[in-house]
A and B are shown apart, each in its own frame.
Chain A
Amino acid sequence: MSENSSSATTKISTYLMSIVLLVLGMSIVALILAVNFYPSDVSMALYLLVIGLIAMGLSVYILLQSRKRAASMKIEAPKVMTTVECRKCGIKNVREFQRGDFIFKDLEACQKCNDNMIITAIYKEVKEKEKTYGV
């Protein structure tokens, strides 16, 4: 089931890729022809140059877009932190989340006062700030 789906996804990207590569090749041919035409027929060279540049720009843009789309397909697991605290002496320690952690779980004894340390918070930090749109 999963194999079928991944092959379907790659089939589309291969199809798109072949078209883009074809356009890219044609744009290179147009640019070469523009160079060949240059001294004899300036206007034709100019047209070919414009067509070649536009085609090249478009194909590069589509290539970059498809790469961006592939990157956005990944499910990124956010970094989750666990705060471990000693309620008696106030020692606080922040570490990465480990499976089995939960808020108010008793952990090993505190090195300073020998009281049990507990998990007081588990959270993820979101770095990017939300846009306010000036309203």
Chain B
Amino acid sequence: MFTASQVLPNLFGGGGDSISQILSMLFYVVFIVFLFYGQRIQMYVMIREVEGSLFKLKYIKEEGRKITIETIKEIGKPQTDPSARVDRYLEYFTIAPQSMDPAGIVYKLDHILDVRDTRLKDEVKLMAPASDEVQVNNLENTLEAAMALNFIYKVVRHYYIQGKKTLSLYIIMQLQMILPLVMKEAEAYASALKAFADGQPIGDGAGPLVAAKLMHGYETRKVPKDCVVATVPIEGRTALIIKAEGPGGNVGKPGDAVQAVIEENEGKIANVIMIDAGLKLEGETVGEVAEGIGAAIGGPGVDQFKIEETVVKYQIQLNAVIVKEDIGDAVSPMRKEISDSADMVIERVKNVILERTKEGDKIIIVGVGNTIGIGQ
């Protein structure tokens, strides 16, 4: 029989010198700790990772606030310090209409968005009294980007604290898993902030850029809401080109504009072609042009609904051309690839016109997106 004094040294490292026994013992301790506390250790590693990102988000948010206040002071020349008003603005929220009975919800949402837009514009005018219409639009966009950064930071912080309080692996795990996408979006907004403050065109302006290239040199008139339309002859057809009124940061309401132009022409429109920036999948090239069917327009869906309703009423064909880009490209200064793709889009639009309409037809071409830094 073996005694304990004979077995233990063999168990912890083969009975060699004391240092090798200590190391073997250490190995067993680590093994047992990981066996029972592995998940907890994994959670602490995740918490640490989330914490790092949260600090970065806080930094980005604070920088955003600083850039916004500096821009307001520089452009708007306010009499008092706008910081308190900016902080109040960053906390603004919008309550979506009740959807238990969904009938008529689009128009309720439309009204709420209109009220929000007017309210925010009025706030900007109060913050920056010396700014003109274009600058008010740019400042509003800057503040919206700062608002988005503030919101992202607060939501991530909420789940981080909740995860730490409850020590729930699943809350922390979910947060840690989506964090790379959240960070990408936050970095995009940070980049957008600077672009908005300076009035630079952004990737989302691909549609308005094409429309501006088509209508440049022709007379324009305003259509509701915040949009312009120009009548341009293209390939023997009459094209009514619509875009948001630039060069201030503005997306307009293309739904209302398309509806108004179709009604003006008593529905005698052969084709509606919409041009917009489309979200690319990983692996696709930035600035790639694709063609399809349907209303190419993002946002809360109000404009898409109005366009679809009108084209169905008059049985008008609806085509779309998109310029592919990712979320980061869409809200940051326009990349050269996107700027260069405008001519390719024009060629594709002309092809659609030649293939899908007859000579003498009237068509509508809509450049959808934020027209910041793009005139007409």
Q: Choose the segment among B97-105, B250-258, B291-299, B328-336 that binds chain A (4+ C-beta atoms closer than 8 Å).
A: B328-336
B373 near A2 with CB under 8 A, answer no
For the complex, what is the distance from the CA of A122 to the CA of B212, rounded to whole Å? 13
* Residue in B55, B194, B374 whose beta carbon sits within 8 Å of that of A9 in the complex: B55
Given A103-B373, A103-B375, A135-B283, is A12 in contact with B334 using a C-beta cutoff of 8 Å?
no
A115 within 8 A of B: no
Tell me which residues across on chain B come within 8 A of A78, comparing CB atoms.
191, 332-333
Give 8 A-B pairs besides A44-B19, A123-B336 with Cβ atoms closer than 8 angstroms.
A5-B62, A73-B60, A78-B333, A101-B200, A122-B201, A123-B333, A126-B335, A126-B337
Q: Separation in Å of the B80 CB from the closest CB of chain A?
A: 17
Task: Render B1-22 as a binary contact track against A, CB cut-off 8 A, 1 for contact.
Answer: 0000000000000000101000
Given A9-B55, A102-B246, A104-B216, is A124 in contact with B335 using a C-beta cutoff of 8 Å?
yes
Tally the A-B contacts, defined by beta carbons under 8 Å. Answer: 99
Interface centre among B87, B191, B373 (most CB of A within 10 A): B373
B52 within 8 A of A: yes
B247 near A103 with CB under 8 A, answer yes
B209 within 8 A of A: yes
Interface residues on A, range: 35 or more
A36 within 8 A of B: no
* Residue in A6, A12, A47, A100 whose beta carbon sits within 8 Å of that of B199 in the complex: A100
Tell me which residues across on chain A come within 8 A of B199, comparing CB atoms.
99-102
The residue of chain A having its C-beta at the shortest distance from the C-beta of B58 within the complex is A5
Tell me which residues across on chain B come within 8 A of A126, comparing CB atoms.
335-337
For the complex, what is the distance from the CA of A126 to the CA of B340, rounded to whole Å? 13
For the complex, what is the distance from the CA of A103 to the CA of B212, rounded to whole Å? 9
A124 near B334 with CB under 8 A, answer yes
For the complex, what is the distance from the CA of A135 to the CA of B283, rounded to whole Å? 8
For the complex, what is the distance from the CA of A2 to the CA of B52, rounded to whole Å? 18
B230 within 8 A of A: no
